[in-house]
Amino acid sequence: MPSLSPSQSLSLSHDFADALPALARPWAADPAPAPQLLVVNEGLAVELGLDPGFLRSPAGVALLVGAALPAGAQPVAQAYAGHQFGGFSPRLGDGRALLLGELTAPDGTLRDLHLKGSGPTPFARAGDGLAAVGPMLREYVMSEAMHALGIPTTRSLAVVATGREVLRETALPGAVLVRTASSHLRVGSVEFARGTGDIAVLRSVVDYAIARHHPEAADDEVPALALFRAVVRTQADLVARWMLVGFIHGVMNTDNMTLSGETIDYGPCAFLDAYDPATVYSSIDTGGRYAYGNQPYIAEWNLARLAEAMLPLFDDDLERAVEKAQGVLAEFRPRFAEARAAGMRRKLGLVPDAAVSGSAVSGSAVSDVEVEALAGDFHEMLGRTRADYTSTFRSLSDAARGDAAALEAALGGDPALAGWLDRWRAHEPAPEVMDAANPIYVPRNHLVEEALAAATDGNLEPLGWLTTVLSAPFTERAGAERYAEPAGPDFAAGYQTFCGT
Ligand code: AMP
Ligand code: MG
């Protein structure tokens, strides 16, 4: 395998492979017959200390498909287990992915460089190890949109078409996604470690996660319990943020939940159109397990599986270990409620924002109870009228500025609206706060599908527009009106998403 010349100076470490050999299978990417760069994330490249010009060159593209390795890189497929739709699979792992290694970004942080769709690994089971252009671009668009919305997530550096055909229902062009993450440690990584039956392996995964993500936990009396608490908190905050923007992950299996608190594995994910907690877009989620409104409960359920896997490290006595785990898990609900309530305040403009008012105001004139009541009534109107979630929230800014026409149109003359508006306006909601909390642009399902279909046919222009608009979701962009509008009712009614296979 050719190495890059030192002048191209990307060096990757192999921290994970060294620290956790029981979870790392050395492996190489399949050669891509005719690699062609479809999209490269120049902003992210710069953040990572990579030269976008180099990434566009043949040598850069070879790196992006795993055909050329930076000197010293030791790519591995990572082992993990996972509860999938409630059932436990002891051996999942990267069936079609590789951790190339970790790079140290200019800001000093360690970031995984990871390929998806790079060929079958020992974990591929019946899968072909490949990925199609559409789903890989989908992950690119969705993850970068989430990042622009301020939500912790893995990032997407590039998508490269491989020139290989991938057989799904039809033959599709194949691709590799190159992504970065603060790590790829998952709840399922800990479940796998526990499943080895070797407590030293379990301890090594926990110690590694602590060192990489929650170093303060090392000083705790029971570091593993402190790690568990940190994950509970970061996941409560994350899922609250999903809920606030109307994001539906779609496949919240424990192998798709990180210890870092980053959103990971964008498969059948989607954003809400009409507000309805029962919304499910994923074609495989027939029972609605991962419906929009279930997400906090599923996150808590997944965290209980994490605690079970870690129990031997909480206490030598099983009963005491369970008690400790339950005590920490009980923090999830209040933490989630607090994060959601704080976000809902901003969405309703009821937070006196230090940046706006020029002074930090502690304690708002609007009580938590009143915010909850206003939010609850607003969601009831959204549900009754099946109004578009994103644009209706955004129309509150104009309503606060005195023009409620868009809000009234969206809520279609709901009889409760007039009274609600009076009550809400009495609190003098701040439009600037809402402008920074309620996005204008989210990756709407019909726009994503349109861009992916064009890209699959070789036209990358709609994808370029979409990613540009989504990179500044709170800022109105002239000429981008259609990106702010919901799909027609026919599209929304029949929309389904498919797992990224
Ligand atoms: P997901 O639900 O997409 O996160 O994937 C669940 C598991 O299936 C993981 O272990 C993946 O590596 C594996 N997998 C998904 N698609 C493929 C594929 N085409 N080939 C091999 N493994 C796959
Ligand atoms: Mg996954």
Q: What percent of the chain has pLDDT over 70?
A: 95
Using CA of residue 398, residue 362, residue 151, residue 461, what is the dihedral sign? positive
CB 150 within 8 A of CB 108: no
Would the CB of 500 count as within 6 Å of ligand 1? yes
Give the pLDDT confidence score for residue 355 in this predicted structure. Answer: 41
User: Which residue, by CA, sits nearest to atom 15 of ligand 1?
Assistant: 501
232-271 pLDDT, tens per residue?
Answer: 999 999 999 999 999 999 999 999 999 999 999 999 999 9
User: Strands, E, within 27-154: which ranges?
Assistant: 36-40, 76-78, 82-84, 87-89, 97-104, 110-116
Six token digits for residue 408: 């009234």
**Tokens 């909601």 sit at which residue?**
429
Please enumerate in sequence order all residues whose Cβ is within 8 A of that of 268, keeping only pairs 6 or more positions apart, or say none: 250, 251, 281, 282, 283, 284, 285, 497, 498, 499, 500
Strands 76-78, 110-116: pairing is unpaired
Q: Which atom of ligand 1 is nearest to the CA of 265?
A: 4
257 by DSSP, 3-state: which? coil
Give the pLDDT confidence score for residue 4 in this predicted structure. Answer: 47
Give the pLDDT confidence score for residue 354 in this predicted structure. Answer: 44
Please identify every residue whose CB atom is under 5 Å from ligand 2, which is an ion. 256, 265
Q: What is the pTM of this model?
A: 0.95
Give the pLDDT confidence score for residue 72 in this predicted structure. Answer: 83
Strands 247-248, 270-271: pairing is antiparallel
Would the CB of 93 count as within 6 Å of ligand 1? yes
Q: Which atom of ligand 1 is nearest to the CA of 131?
A: 19
Would the CB of 95 count as within 6 Å of ligand 1? yes
Q: How far is the CA of 94 from the centre of ligand 1 (A)?
A: 7
Q: Which residues of the chain are under the pLDDT cut of 70?
A: 1-8, 352-364, 499-501
Nearest ligand to residue 119 Cα: 1
Would the CB of 501 count as within 6 Å of ligand 1? yes
Nearest ligand to residue 500 Cα: 1
Residues with active-site annotation = 255
User: Which residue, by CA, sits nearest to atom 22 of ligand 1?
Assistant: 95
Would the CB of 77 count as within 6 Å of ligand 1? no
Q: How far is the CA of 255 from the centre of ligand 2 (A)?
A: 6
Closest CA to 122 of 14, 28, 196, 186: 28
Q: How far is the CA of 103 from the centre of ligand 2 (A)?
A: 22
71 by DSSP, 3-state: which? coil
**Tokens 């303060």 sit at which residue?**
216
Count of beta carbons in the 10 Å neighbourhood of residue 176: 31
Q: How far is the CA of 168 from the centre of ligand 1 (A)?
A: 14
Testing ligand 1's pocket by substitution, the residue of 249, 256, 283, 501 carrying the most ligand atoms inside 8 A of its CB is 501
Q: How far is the CA of 50 from the centre of ligand 1 (A)?
A: 29
Give the pLDDT confidence score for residue 250 in this predicted structure. Answer: 97
Give the pLDDT confidence score for residue 3 in this predicted structure. Answer: 47
372 Rama class: left (phi>0) / alpha (psi -120 to 50) / beta: alpha
